[in-house]
Amino acid sequence: MRVLLTGAAGFIGFHIAQALLARGDEVIGVDNLNDYYDVSLKQARLNHLLPHKNFSFHKINIADKESMRPLAKLGPTHVVHLAAQAGVRYSLVNPYAYIESNITGQTVMLELARQLPQLEHFVFASSSSVYGNSAKVPFAVGDAVDHPVSLYAATKRAGELMAWTYAHLPTIPCTGLRYFTV
């Protein structure tokens, strides 16, 4: 497999990259290395991955469609899209970061996936935040998620709806994962 992995320097992305590389897959890592989380920690993770012959890294903002477009020529067969602006509280301070990364970035990634004739699967990260203040526990995939209580949750739910649409119109095989606190 040749996997395009966004958010490759993040906690989940790093561990997915390690697992993919360990089984012999090729990983095309993308991360913008923003400073929402400790950049030195992200760089340390990358330093661990960079020596691997099946790993390449591209410092790109996923919302920059012109910078992302050339990655399609690398021929990924799978996309694992984890890059996003995280954090509920920060969305009150910088809402535009969420729109850029979680809405525009999701659109760029779905459009990129449409350009991959060899694409077998598109996996993306959503969030348990889409469940809002639901009193029902445990949560279930079929639960109503129509009342987000933060902009972060709203952008992640919007990303799910966008992926649903792309999965049905151009038939991109899609799976969304609703992560809880990692």
Q: pLDDT tens digits for 1-31?
A: 999 999 999 999 999 999 999 999 999 999 9
**What are the start-end ranges of the E strands in 45-120?**
55-59, 78-81
| pLDDT exceeds 70 at position 148 | yes
Are the beta carbons of 6 and 81 closer than 8 angstroms?
Answer: yes
Specify the pLDDT at position 89.
87
pLDDT of residue 143: 67
Average pLDDT, the chain: 93
pTM of the model: 0.93
Check residue 94 and give its pLDDT. 93
Question: In terms of DSSP H, where are the helices of 50-114?
Answer: 65-68, 90-93, 95-98, 105-114
- Enter the tokens of residue 97: 């970061």
CA-closest candidate to residue 125, choices 169, 166, 79: 79
Predicted pLDDT of residue 104: 98
Mean pLDDT over residues 117-138, rounded? 85
Whether residue 90 lies in the annotated active site: no
pLDDT band at 88 (very low <50, low <70, confident <90, very high): confident
**If you average pLDDT over residues 58-85, what whole number do you get?**
97
What's the confidence (pLDDT) of residue 29?
Answer: 98
Mean pLDDT of 78-104: 94
Q: Which of 98, 131, 152, 166 is catalytic?
A: 152
2-179 CATH: 3.40.50.720
